[in-house]
Amino acid sequence: MSDQRDLFGDTEPPRARPSHPDTSHEAARAITQDGTVGRNQNRTLDALRRHPGMTTNELEDIDGVRGGTYRKRMSELETMGLAFRVAKRPCRITHRNAYAWEAKS
């Protein structure tokens, strides 16, 4: 897979909450600078295109992804206009209400 920083390179770095320690803010900057954020955004968007209408937990389960990678990137993709919420329904993984997502065409 090619480096996806060209597509996502102008993305704002993930934001650590103001109450989080400085190490969280440093980590957010580091994963933006080394391209991890762009690669994970691309991976999330690809999963969403392959499996439209799923929640982030369902996407992570079907792709074997751990650590909330898709969940963390989905709001960024929404802000960028690349993904949108289509329905609120019970998630097949958590059994709690969650939003299902689709990629913009």
Q: pLDDT, tens digit, for every residue of 14-53?
A: 567 788 888 887 887 887 888 888 999 999 999 999 999 9
Residue 4, in any domain of the structure: no
Residue 2, in any domain of the structure: no
* pLDDT of 58 strictly over 70: yes
Confidence (pLDDT) at 1: 40
Residue 3, in any domain of the structure: no
pTM: 0.76
Residue 10, in any domain of the structure: no
> How many domains are there within the chain?
1
Residue 59, in any domain of the structure: yes
Residue 9, in any domain of the structure: no
Confidence (pLDDT) at 15: 66
The range of the structural domain enclosing residue 87 comes to: 21-103
Question: Who contacts 12 (Cβ-Cβ below 8 Å, separation ≥6)?
Answer: 76
98: β partners? 89
How far apart are the C-alpha atoms of 36 and 67, rounded to whole Å?
14
Q: How many other C-beta atoms are found inside a 10 Å radius of the C-beta of residue 48?
A: 24
Question: Who contacts 84 (Cβ-Cβ below 8 Å, separation ≥6)?
Answer: 78, 101, 102, 104
Closest CA to 99 of 41, 38, 37, 48: 48
The string of DSSP letters for 50-92 reads HSTTB-HHHHHHHHT--TTHHHHHHHHHHHTTSEEEEEEEE-T
What's the CATH code of the domain at 26?
1.10.10.10
